[in-house]
């Protein structure tokens, strides 16, 4: 997330999403140590059932997680839904 916050964070917050509270704690700490806390936001949620608005995100990136999800197809659909149409 660091490169996203450095590259895109000036235009708006970079939102990190995960089901694991422990992983989000690690990500928050990394953001603080890189002095990027003002550009990062984190939310614990399931991407299959996201409360985020349609088209909210300019970019959606999924890293090292699809293989661990119970329904990867639903997760991709959820990510596509919140991505802004191009």
Q: What is the pLDDT of residues 50-77, one digit of tens each?
A: 899 999 999 898 887 888 888 899 999 9
For residue 85, what is the DSSP state?
A: P
pLDDT value of residue 70: 84
Listed residue (24, 74, 67, 66) closest to 45, CA to CA:
24
Backbone angles phi, psi at 83, to 5 degrees: -75, 135
pLDDT value of residue 81: 94
Question: Where do the structural domains in the chain lie, given as residue ranges?
Answer: 1-44, 46-86
26/33 Cα distance (integer angstroms): 11
For residue 5, what is the DSSP state?
A: H
């Amino acid at each position: 997330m660091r490169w996203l916050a450095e590259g895109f964070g000036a235009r708006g917050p970079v939102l990190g999403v995960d089901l694991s509270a422990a992983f989000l704690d690690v990500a928050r700490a990394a953001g603080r140590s890189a002095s990027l806390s003002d550009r990062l936001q984190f939310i614990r949620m399931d991407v299959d059932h996201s409360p985020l608005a349609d088209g909210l995100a300019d970019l959606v990136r999924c890293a090292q997680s699809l293989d661990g999800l119970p329904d990867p197809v639903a997760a991709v659909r959820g990510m596509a839904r919140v991505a802004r149409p191009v």
